[in-house]
Structure 1
Amino acid sequence: MARNAKKALEELSHRGPHEVLHGDLALVGLPGIVCTPRSGRGLPAVAFGHGWLQSPRRYTGLLRHLASWGIVAAAPGTQRGPLASHRMLASDLRTALDICTGVRLGTGDISVDDGKLGVAGHALGGGSAVLAAADDPRVRAVATFAVTETMPSALAAAHRVTAPGLHLTGGKDLLAPSVANAEPIAAAWGGPVQLRDLPKASHLGITEGRHWTELVLHGKAEYRTQRTTRALITAFLLRHLNADKRWDALLDGDVSGAAIDQEHSRTAKQLTA
């Protein structure tokens, strides 16, 4: 059934049809959390990187939301200190994908298709997701919010990423302004890419609950930011990992509070023109 962008945003901002299981990645050797649909074979999966000094539990709502729409979502709980290694977090994102594809999840009736893998992240976790995608040909989609530069450079790695990319930025983000981070990364992207600005979002808008880092970082948890990012990231991952085209109107059109930056966005058709 065809949907316009507004209707698709409304539908995807609510929980999906699947019951959700919540697990501990530490049981299989990697600190972190994993959320899955209650059952399913050949599911898509995404590994999510946390922001600087953040706990993966600050993104539990997003992970559970993705799982409710049929996507296995794993978030490593490593590299949480002030001197976090971006390279190691990128490696841990790839390890999380290995776990998703190599371990029977749930009671053994959940499996992931290794041809349906993506990475995503917030701030330095977004930059680490870019690094992971550049070095892992299995990755089919990359989504970030308030992506920041990393060491080694996410900007330098971006041209090696041929998977579709979705980069969301906050208009009120004082720590990772789009012009200094997401825009150059999108401009260097090696595959189809879309850049969207959420004009009322702050740097921590995607996070959930209260946290002491609100005293030293800009912003706080924002319901509207969470609602919009969940819908956009879910639509993007379903489209590129599961060939689900029901939500294309949302991906192709502007919606209130999340306009497409046409200057820094490119489709596959434009790349081959």
Structure 2
Amino acid sequence: MKQLARRGPHRVLKGDLGVAGLPGVIYTPESGINLPAVAFAHDWLTPVKRYSRTFEHLASWGIVVAAPATERGPLPSDGRLAIDLSTALDVITEVRLGSGEITVNRGRRAVVGHGSGAGAALLAADGDEGVLALAALFPAPTSPQAAEAATRLTVPALLLAAAGDVASVRSNAAELAAAYGGAAQLRVIPDGVAGGLPEGRLNPGAALGVTKPDKATQKAVRTVLTGFLLATAGHDSTYSDFAASDTDLGDVVVWRPEDEEEPKRPTPLDVIRGR
């Protein structure tokens, strides 16, 4: 955990998905062979640039990340963003990246979604047989199709939630973990903030006072997510403990139904404030 909380050994390059006809960004290590490929789905109304330090962190550990900058309107489509995630994976596994010192393994694909983007990640994993792993960061309820996709998936899954917000009007993490067709570990970040992952003061949620960047949340997510992706899509046995639900990862503990207190029905004001 301490090791992965720090930036990795690779210098990071940034590219534009737009050259392949899809708006978005690409982050890669400067060099590497048979690297894993990850497509990232953003939360509601959140620009992909607000995740730049998270993408840089993953790339510094040898993971190639592509994030489509699509479906950013007030009524996004899970299905369309899922298609864009699959397209992004095709781009970074089939198009030459960098100056020729980077090769991406088409058989090492994963999808990650934050908030409402978790629904798109579920659908993308369900529709792409090449996806080896799935991560849902503070998943939010979206479409029934996304919830149904979880029941069919068998690839290793990591779900992260904030303490006290495993099951609420804003989070369906517990529901997804219970319905998931394969091995899914649901971990809770103490004092985590579901909307705290995006960086910078100018993200729409922060401007509205609903969500604010939270550095502790960002650090915990980057650490656990990096280990999980290296262990699964990266096939790196050094980090195999991050793919196991019974591993002690310090404060980021595995959630079980008996751990949850009786849920309190949030008031409209709680929802507005992101509580």
Q: TM over 0.5: same fold?
A: yes
Aligned letter for 1:77?
Answer: A
Equivalent residue number for residue 143 of structure 1: 135
State whether structure 2 residue 100 is matched by structure 1 residue 108.
yes
CA distance in 2, matches of 1:236, 1:217: 32
CA 99–201 in structure 1, closer or farther in 2 if over 3 Å, else same:
same
Paired AA for residue 188 in structure 1: A
Q: More displaced, 131-140 or 180-189?
A: 180-189
Worse overlay, 193-202 or 246-255? 246-255
3-state DSSP class of the match of 2:142?
coil
Match of 2:80 among 67, 74, 88: 88
Question: What TM-score does the superposition give when structure 1 sets the normalisation length?
Answer: 0.88
Q: Secondary structure at the match of 1:81?
A: coil
- Following TM superposition, by how much is the alpha carbon of 1:247 offset from its aligned partner in structure 2, in angstroms? 2.6
- The structural deviation recorded for 1:204 is 1.2
Structure 1 residue 130 and structure 2 residue 117: aligned? no
User: Distance in 1 between the 2:69 and 2:170 partners?
Assistant: 29
User: Which residue does 2:178 correspond to in 1?
Assistant: 187
SS of the aligned residue for 1:196 comes to strand
Q: Which deviations, in whole Å up to 9, do the C-alpha atoms of 1:166-217 show, x marking residues without a partner?
A: 000012659x739950111111111111000113112211111112322446
2:239 to 230, 236, 247: 247
Paired residue for 1:260?
A: 254
C-alpha distance in structure 1 between counterparts of 2:11 and 2:221, whole Å: 21
Query: Equivalent residue for 2:218?
Result: 226
SS in 2 for 1:185: helix
Q: Is the 8 A contact 2:13 2:30 kept in 1?
A: yes
Return the TM-score normalized by structure 2: 0.87
Matched, 1:207 2:198: yes
Which among 237, 240, 249 is matched to residue 229 of structure 2?
237
SS of 1:207's equivalent?
Answer: coil
Give the SS at the match of 1:242: coil
Q: Is the Cα contact below 8 Å between 1:172 and 1:202 reproduced in 2?
A: no
Instruction: Write out the 4+ residue segments of structure 1 that deviate beyond 6 Å after TM superposition.
Output: none
The residue aligned with 1:3 is none
Aligned residues: 255
Counterparts of 2:149 and 2:169, CA distance in 1: 18
Cα displacement string for residues 21-61 of structure 1 (whole angstroms, at most 9, x for unaligned residues): 01111111111111001012211010000000000111111
Match for 1:154 among 126, 138, 146?
Answer: 146
Name the SS of the counterpart of 1:112 in structure 2. strand
For the residues of structure 2 that align with 1:19 and 1:230, how far apart are their CA atoms? 17
Query: Would the aligned equivalents of 1:170 and 1:178 in 2 still touch at CA under 8 Å?
Result: no
Q: Does the 8 Å contact 1:66/1:72 carry over to 2?
A: yes
Tell me the SS of whatever aligns to 1:166. strand
Higher relative contact order (CA 8 A, sep 6+): 1
CA distance in 2, matches of 1:172, 1:114: 38
Q: Is the 8 A contact 2:231 2:240 kept in 1?
A: yes
Paired position in structure 1 for 2:89? 97
Following superposition, the deviation at residue 250 of structure 1 comes to 4.8
Counterpart CA distance in 2 for 1:172 and 1:55 is 27
Alignment of 1:76 with 2:68, yes or no, is: yes
Distance 1:92 1:162 in 2: 22
The CA distance in 1 between the partners of 2:41 and 2:25, in whole Å, is 11
Give the superposition deviation at 1:229: 0.6
Quote the Cα distance in structure 2 between the aligned partners of 1:102 and 1:143. Answer: 23
Counterpart of 2:233 in 1: which secondary structure?
A: helix
**Aligned pairs (5 A) from 1:5-84:** 9-84=1-76
The offset of 1:151, in angstroms, is: 2.4
Question: One-letter code of the match for 2:205?
Answer: T
Unmatched 5+ stretches in structure 2? 259-275
